[in-house]
Structure 1
Amino acid sequence: MAQVGRSVATLRVAGVDLVPDEVSELLGIQPTHAQRKGQPSRSGMHLATFGLWRLEARNREPENVNGQVEELLSQVTSKLEVWRVLGRRFEVDLFCGWFMNESNEGLDISPANLLALGERGIQLSLDIYAPTTAE
């Protein structure tokens, strides 16, 4: 089986009453992107209906989701109590986008990374993109 062609990964914390600066203080890092509820969108076409804090890993080609998990978790606090507090108040996930070049590609997530995500209560959210065919 071939390796997935490209991967993106983003640690996300979201909630109606989320204040990005509070999340930054708890996690010990500024986000790649943040928004507060009621804030105009980037396009200015609508107002945000919830708060969002995002930290993006470098895109990898070919995929290296294990490297992306390690990159993200190495930048934020390892204190599990902080993660429990965040998980009680907000939705916390690791969004991964996997972009295939062929119809049968795969990847592995290490037990250490699965454990690290689980200990922190970080849900794994996957979008898997099939290769496009030229018409």
Structure 2
Amino acid sequence: MGVIAMDKKQITLYYSSENSIGKQLNAYVQSSGKEHLTIDISKTNVTGTQWAELAEGLGKDIPDLIAKDLPDFRETYGTDTVNLDNDGWLKILDKNPRFLKNAIVIKGENYIELTSASDYKQYMDPDSAGIEKPYK
């Protein structure tokens, strides 16, 4: 059993308000009229266990959650390949939440990585992706 609560009637959004896509997605979720929980990782500490669960739910490794191609990342950590263990990558997310590559939505048991605000409409509009059913 994971540490992240899952509810098929609730949208849970993990995002960083330090980037424009995160802000846009938060606005979409807030105005959706659906039950939601938004977690701004810039203001709320996400534990290593939660990050591990998010990565696993997406079928990724923790380093895959980090935008290593951002100019700020390269300026901070260099242009060479950064070799860290999972604890090191978690520290990067903790200290620099703006490096979160994409927002993550959990709807029921589905983990979805959103790369743009339009992704939200694609995945959250009823039956647009075959994962959501209209509320009764």
TM-score grouping bracket, smaller chain normalisation: under 0.3
Higher helix share: 2
- Greater Rg over alpha carbons, structure: 1
In the superposition, the TM-score normalised over structure 1's length comes to: 0.26
